[in-house]
Structure 1
Amino acid sequence: MGKRTSIDHLKWWQKMKNHRYIRIFLFVVLGIITYSLTVTNVIPETLEIDPGTVAEQDIRSPITIENKEETDRLKQDAYESVEPIYSTKTRYAQNQIERINDIFQTIKQVQREAREREEEITAIEREIELLLERAEEEEEQVMEEEDTEELIETLTASIPLPITIDEQLEKVRNIIHEHTAQDLSDETLVTLIQTSEEDLEIAQETTTSAIYAVMSDDIQVDEVEEARTRAERLVINSTDDPSLHRARAMIEMARFGIIANYLLDEEATEEAREQAVEAIDSVMIREGQLIVEEGQMITSEIYNRLALVGLLDDYSIIYPYVGLGILVIILISMLAYYLNDANTSIKTNNTHLLMYVIIYFVTLALIKLVSLTHLIEVNGITYIVPVAMGTMLITTLINSRIALFTSMVLAIVSSIIFNDQSSGILDYSHGVYVFFSSIAGVFFLNKSNKIMRILQSGIFVGLLNVFVILALIMLRNGQYGMIEIGTHMGFAAMSGFLAAVLTLGLLPFFEAGFGVLSTTKLIELSNPNHPLLRKILLDAPGTYHHSVMVANLSEGACESVGANGLLARVGAYYHDLGKTKRPHFFIENQMKIDNPHDKISPQLSKTIIIAHPYDGAELLREHKMPKEIIGIAEQHHGTTLLKYFYHKAKQETDKEVPEEEFRYPGPKAQTKESAIVGIADCVEAAVRSMNKPTPDKIETLVRKIITDRLEDGQFDECDLTLKELSIIATSICETLHGTFHTRIEYPEDISRKGEDKIKGDDK
């Protein structure tokens, strides 16, 4: 298995995966896949039907739409069905009485002015007569007689002319309303003008009383003449001599005062009609509504309904295609945003993104394939769809949060793909079923990284599917037989089993093809019979034992801070693989032999020691090992200093020895696992060299090593926090309590050099 070649080792993918547009291309592929597999489910169904033919099958509406033509017709009928609303204008009688009173008051005013003119003329004439009488009786001087004559002439000239009837008539007409002046005859007005004040009062009272009496009742427009006749009779009955001009004038005034007071209320009528229109609900053709039954004649009305819902072959609609395109763009855009924002391997690893696209395609193709089984006409067979396979693969190979988000996308897409048995564009029951089935595997599988958990997850998915189907059946409140219910539940349970089987079957192909370091792969790599582990055991047995101890320390420490403990363990097994190239230059492999470093210069020793992480990484690459394992082997020393050989080199020469020459070239730890393996590697070598180790001495040493690395900046490129470093120290100390080994401790004056030598040589 170690020799399998993943896509990351293929030259064409190595060139493409880092291309600036490769991620955009992959997301476009996701959109094309989604659109291609769903477009056939949104193509409008068309029928070859003509008016007057007979329907060969029941035809139901695929959409919900308003029948505007029918709605408008019903609203027009409702508008026209409202009868006009009439109301009695009680104020009209008072208005007419006030109008008649105004006419009489105007006549009275004109009469007063005429009388005042006559009185004025009479007064002047009387004064002239008095002057003449006085002149005759008395003998006056000539001068006084001339003055009297002038005064008489002045008074005579000042006598005004009397107001004639015509002038009074004209004045009345000028004062009263123009419309009133036109309706009343000159004869009537002249008669009233010539009537005495007392008789005029009687005429006014008689006329207004008749008008009030008649207009107290409702008078419609077509009843006005009849009402005027009634008023005329009332006036006649109250007059001694109806033939008199005054009586005729009163009759005309009474007839003039009578108008219709029971009239059309346009505002109330319009309001009532608007309420009637608003009460009419829109005529809707509901999704799934039966438009025509089998054997029914296709009338023009039914034909128009079929055209309205888009079921006629000559009624072209492109909206479903556009709508599906918009929906797919929204789904893929949201998916792309989430995948690029979530802190997972897909964010930076295009190989994992390609794997996600392939899993998505396989899952969607499987959903599409199962959707075609409805043609078999077996109740509930489409519920056998093993959609949980996709989310279980994503959970195992990538990340559970990505799988959860994918569940929502698959639910929406599935509701479109499974709409063959639905009258609408979406089958909500299948959408809900797929959603719960997808997330069930994620929740259960995410609790453990053991391979057997996949089979257990399949059982869990099957059970949840059964309950979901049972809930959906009850929600429909339909009439289902026990056989039909059992069939539905059986297919739902089988879905979980198939999902687990397919996941187990496809998992090795994705692991091998994409170099995914899954739990299965890690367990495989931890096998002691692996060729590289056998090589360490045979060529460097001390290193092998050291690696096993480091693995124990690393796994516990990683799990204590939420890192991948299994990855740290397997990485620790291989982290010192490079020592197999020159095993005897590392102290743990020097069994009863002299230390070869005593015979060579510190610079050469440094070169040999520093080379082992990179020699190991190269061997791992040659064997196509996962990059995570290679990273641990290459990064576990970071850029730490080989202090023992650095100080030895300084002691052997008076020249300045650059510290950089005795540092590992790096890189520093990029992940928590690499950093923790590096700490465990150093701690294991240091504790092994202690004489009579005690828990307190071990804890002091462990925390000192972690502090030194922290101050040296070895954790700058990974996301370990100070709190996590404290937890790691506690975990390592707990693991070391039962694994003390007595080793020779260096003298105090060279303890730091000895410790550095142990750490350097042991790596």
Structure 2
Amino acid sequence: MKLHEHIGRLRVMLGFKGFTSVILCSLALIMFGIFYPDIRPQTYDIKLFSIANNTIRSPKTVIDEEKTNEEKQKAAREVAKAYTYETSQVQNRVSLMNSIFDVVEEVNGKYEKQKESGKSSNKLQEEKLAKLKEILTENVSGNVAGSIFDNSFLALLSASPDDLDAVRSVVVSSAEEALGKKITEDDVAYARDAVAVKISRSALPAGLKTAAAELGKYAIVPNYVYDAKLTEKRKKQAMDSVEPVKILQGQVIVQEGHLIDRETYRQLELFGLLKNSGSIKPYIGLAVFVLLACTLLYLYVRHMRAPEETKQNRLVMAGMILLIALALMKLIGALIHLQIAGIEYVYPAAMAPMLAQILLRDRSAFLLGVLLAACASIEFHGELADMFNAEMVVYALLSGTAGILLLLARLERTRLFKTGISVALFNMLAVCFIYLLNPGQMAQMDFLYSLLFAFLSGILSAVLTMGLQPFFEAAFGILSPMRLIELSNPNHPLLKKILIEAPGTYHHSLMVANLSEAACEAIGANGLLARVGSYYHDIGKTKRPQFFIENQMNTGNPHDRLEPEVSRDIIFAHTKDGAEMLKNYRLPKALVYIAEQHHGTTCIKYFYSKAKKKSSEVKEEDYRYSGPKPQTKEAAVINIADSVEAAVLRRKKFKIWSTALCRPA
């Protein structure tokens, strides 16, 4: 019993929806089991401050966030405080000094006339001092009145206008000179002392030097001040300039025999290499990937325009092709441990898409190519690589697509090997593209090995496709285009038999084939199947070729000497005889069904009319083919084309006979 018959029984037991669910769930579980070892990280039973039993390397390149943050904080701490030189302080403090002297002059002017009022000079000086402080407190920013000693104010109030101008000049010039330099908070005291020393060396009267020095010191303030915003900005720039601290792929985390300190333990924990720190994220990711793959397969089946049985047979075939490809992928993946450069490129990436293109002839070929490219990125990530190998995705996609497109015009099995060579050359170009765009260094021998394996991949794809195709054809009872083309070869024993023993039938079959193929292509049926079916539909006539009109060009009609019942049985027999001959030669069932059904239950009108003339009790049912009626579009089209071509043939035959009878002796 063939595989598709077992599938049919299981489908009856589970129902269409149940069967589809079982197939997809089984496929999902198998895929998860296949890739589970590839995503499961190796873990170690290690304790803090223990001795490492072996050398442990980083399985992939990661950014150490904790170390990176430490480096950023360190860079921020090393940033010096930012200061801003406030040039406006020179003008502000000079203006303040001038304002003080202006107020002194103003107060002296107001009390100038009161010198002769009889008030004592001490009383007058006290009033002037009070008025000066009042004005300074109200009109001058800063606590000038509280910062300058009263003796200094009294000295200024007692000075003559000329001496006061001299003091003003010395104080202002000294302040301008000192504030012209950058003065920080720490430098203020030194700058003030320098101003005081400079004023003390001036030519001012001795009584005014102290007041001038005090005013000069008061004029000096920090003009190179701490800028918090600028400091934070520079710290942020310093932190941003820190390169992320990476633990590189293959980097030694701990050497064998070394102590597992806190930093080493933290790195092992970061990679999930400790048994107590394993992450479930890879497993969830794999489950999501498998779910996506099965969803795509379900959508592929759901939107297919075909009966439910055909849909599910195609789903099973697509699943089997996928699993075979995954098994090969797993086998090649196991060879990576041999440390042979480029060994992953020997994976026959074009095999599954080519096989799907031959057997299914629809979008499944491209779908399988995409799914297997994604699977290759997981399987061939290597021991120390990231979880995805982008190079293998590109390689598998290009190779699979090339196999599909190159096969479209090369359906003969004998030319499939040539297609494999073309795919092999395409694979080599893909490897060149990958290596030449890879910024890393590559050894010349590694490159040559990769080219060799890529070439072998194309050859393997063709060989495996040729080897697996008959298995699927036999297991599922399908006719691939390649198989149909092989059966259309005129050197096939049955076609040679028709040509030699019944040349008229052979010509008739060719005409029917042309009509049937054109009609099937017009209505969306399988034109190639109709053509090949037409070649074999009348193979039963080779048992008694002279009893059929197309083979009676130079002989009489033997039916003229037979009873209509005998002629009927001879004509009827050619459908059953043809089916038996096709079965004996193990031709596909689709061709056997066409041979049985190409006349359906039509009536042989000629012999029925002939029998009716002899006896009115003749039943029409006795002169109808036993059938069955055509069950497929192709069989129905061949039925019509056969009748049309036979009618044309009879008309031509009648015309030839009429011409011969009317020709003068």
Give the TM-score normalised by structure 1.
Answer: 0.65
Change (3 A) 1:290 1:411: farther
The 5-angstrom pairing of residues 410-421 of structure 1 reads 410-421=372-383
Change (3 A) 1:55 1:202: same
* Corresponding position: 1:12 with 2:9: yes
Q: What corresponds to 1:216 in structure 2?
A: 180
8 A contact 2:166–2:204 mirrored in 1: no
Aligned length: 621
Q: What corresponds to 1:231 in structure 2?
A: 195
Q: What corresponds to 1:701 in structure 2?
A: none
Q: What corresponds to 1:373 in structure 2?
A: 335
Provide, for residues 63-110 of structure 1, a one-character-per-residue CA deviation record: whole Å limited to 9, x for no partner.
332111221222222222223344543322221111122223334444
Q: What corresponds to 1:685 in structure 2?
A: 646
Q: What corresponds to 1:313 in structure 2?
A: 275
Q: What corresponds to 2:81 in structure 1?
A: 84
Change (3 A) 1:48 1:495: same
Q: What corresponds to 2:30 in structure 1?
A: 33
The 5-angstrom pairing of residues 521-560 of structure 1 reads 522=484, 546-547=508-509, 549-555=511-517
- For 2:28 and 2:169, how far apart are their aligned partners in 1? 95
Offset of residue 632 of structure 1:
9.8
The 5-angstrom pairing of residues 356-505 of structure 1 reads 356-375=318-337, 383-399=345-361, 401-465=363-427, 477-479=441-443, 481=445, 493-505=455-467
Q: What corresponds to 2:559 in structure 1?
A: 592
- For 1:528 and 1:22, how far apart are their aligned partners in 2? 42
Q: What corresponds to 1:706 in structure 2?
A: none
Offset of residue 42 of structure 1:
0.5
- For 1:107 and 1:587, how far apart are their aligned partners in 2? 145
Offset of residue 420 of structure 1:
3.9
Offset of residue 516 of structure 1:
1.0
Offset of residue 550 of structure 1:
1.2
What is the one-letter code of the residue matched to 2:646? A
The 5-angstrom pairing of residues 236-315 of structure 1 reads 236-238=200-202, 241-242=205-206, 244=207, 246-292=208-254, 298-315=260-277
Change (3 A) 1:282 1:546: same
Q: What corresponds to 2:143 in structure 1?
A: 179
8 A contact 2:410–2:419 mirrored in 1: no
Q: What corresponds to 2:64 in structure 1?
A: 67
* Corresponding position: 1:168 with 2:141: no
8 A contact 1:635–1:670 mirrored in 2: no
What is the one-letter code of the residue matched to 2:407? L
8 A contact 1:97–1:212 mirrored in 2: yes
8 A contact 2:249–2:384 mirrored in 1: no
Change (3 A) 1:292 1:466: farther
What is the one-letter code of the residue matched to 1:442? I
- For 1:116 and 1:422, how far apart are their aligned partners in 2? 101
8 A contact 1:346–1:352 mirrored in 2: no
Offset of residue 321 of structure 1:
0.9
Offset of residue 39 of structure 1:
1.4
What is the one-letter code of the residue matched to 1:411? A
Change (3 A) 1:270 1:444: closer
The alignment partner of 1:690 has SS state of helix
8 A contact 2:550–2:649 mirrored in 1: no
For structure 1, the 5+ residue unaligned runs are 123-160, 599-604, 645-664, 694-740, 746-763
- For 1:182 and 1:162, how far apart are their aligned partners in 2? 18
Give the TM-score normalised by structure 2.
Answer: 0.74
The alignment partner of 2:651 has SS state of coil
What is the one-letter code of the residue matched to 2:27? L
Offset of residue 326 of structure 1:
2.3
8 A contact 2:549–2:650 mirrored in 1: no
8 A contact 1:451–1:520 mirrored in 2: yes
Change (3 A) 1:286 1:561: farther
Q: What corresponds to 2:616 in structure 1?
A: none
8 A contact 1:551–1:568 mirrored in 2: yes
For structure 2, the 5+ residue unaligned runs are 119-123, 552-556, 607-626, 660-665
8 A contact 2:55–2:256 mirrored in 1: yes
Q: What corresponds to 2:472 in structure 1?
A: 510
- For 1:451 and 1:437, how far apart are their aligned partners in 2? 20
Offset of residue 522 of structure 1:
3.9
8 A contact 2:253–2:267 mirrored in 1: yes
The alignment partner of 1:221 has SS state of coil
What is the one-letter code of the residue matched to 1:365? A
What is the one-letter code of the residue matched to 1:309? F
Offset of residue 182 of structure 1:
1.8
Structure with larger Rg: 1
Provide, for residues 265-309 of structure 1, a one-character-per-residue CA deviation record: whole Å limited to 9, x for no partner.
444433333322222111122334444456666554333323222
Offset of residue 373 of structure 1:
3.5
Higher mean alpha-carbon deviation, 321-330 vs 216-225, is at 216-225
What is the one-letter code of the residue matched to 1:12? R
Offset of residue 240 of structure 1:
5.2
- For 1:480 and 1:383, how far apart are their aligned partners in 2? 16
What is the one-letter code of the residue matched to 2:638? V
Change (3 A) 1:256 1:398: same
The alignment partner of 2:275 has SS state of coil
Offset of residue 413 of structure 1:
0.6
What is the one-letter code of the residue matched to 1:96? R
8 A contact 2:412–2:485 mirrored in 1: no
8 A contact 1:92–1:261 mirrored in 2: yes
What is the one-letter code of the residue matched to 1:104? F
Higher mean alpha-carbon deviation, 31-40 vs 484-493, is at 484-493
- For 1:269 and 1:339, how far apart are their aligned partners in 2? 64
Change (3 A) 1:14 1:630: farther
Provide, for residues 538-583 of structure 1, a one-character-per-residue CA deviation record: whole Å limited to 9, x for no partner.
xx99988755541254347768999754311233356689999xx9
The alignment partner of 2:17 has SS state of coil
Give the aligned CA root-mean-square deviation in angstroms. Answer: 5.5
Higher mean alpha-carbon deviation, 273-282 vs 209-218, is at 209-218
Change (3 A) 1:457 1:425: same
Offset of residue 365 of structure 1:
1.9
Offset of residue 421 of structure 1:
4.6
Offset of residue 41 of structure 1:
0.2
The alignment partner of 2:143 has SS state of helix
- For 1:208 and 1:379, how far apart are their aligned partners in 2? 83
Change (3 A) 1:744 1:524: farther
Change (3 A) 1:340 1:635: farther
- For 1:387 and 1:206, how far apart are their aligned partners in 2? 94
8 A contact 1:689–1:744 mirrored in 2: no
Q: Which of 333, 354, 357 is the aligned partner of 2:316?
A: 354
* Corresponding position: 1:104 with 2:101: yes
Q: Which of 92, 97, 120 is the aligned partner of 1:95?
A: 92
Change (3 A) 1:560 1:460: farther
- For 1:505 and 1:667, how far apart are their aligned partners in 2? 36
Provide, for residues 672-692 of structure 1, a one-character-per-residue CA deviation record: whole Å limited to 9, x for no partner.
x56753563343133224359
The alignment partner of 1:263 has SS state of strand
Provide, for residues 647-701 of structure 1, a one-character-per-residue CA deviation record: whole Å limited to 9, x for no partner.
xxxxxxxxxxxxxxxxxx9999975x567535633431332243599xxxxxxxx
Offset of residue 183 of structure 1:
1.0
- For 1:10 and 1:184, how far apart are their aligned partners in 2? 109
Change (3 A) 1:422 1:192: closer
What is the one-letter code of the residue matched to 1:181? A
What is the one-letter code of the residue matched to 2:172? T
The alignment partner of 1:282 has SS state of coil
8 A contact 1:691–1:742 mirrored in 2: yes
What is the one-letter code of the residue matched to 1:97? V
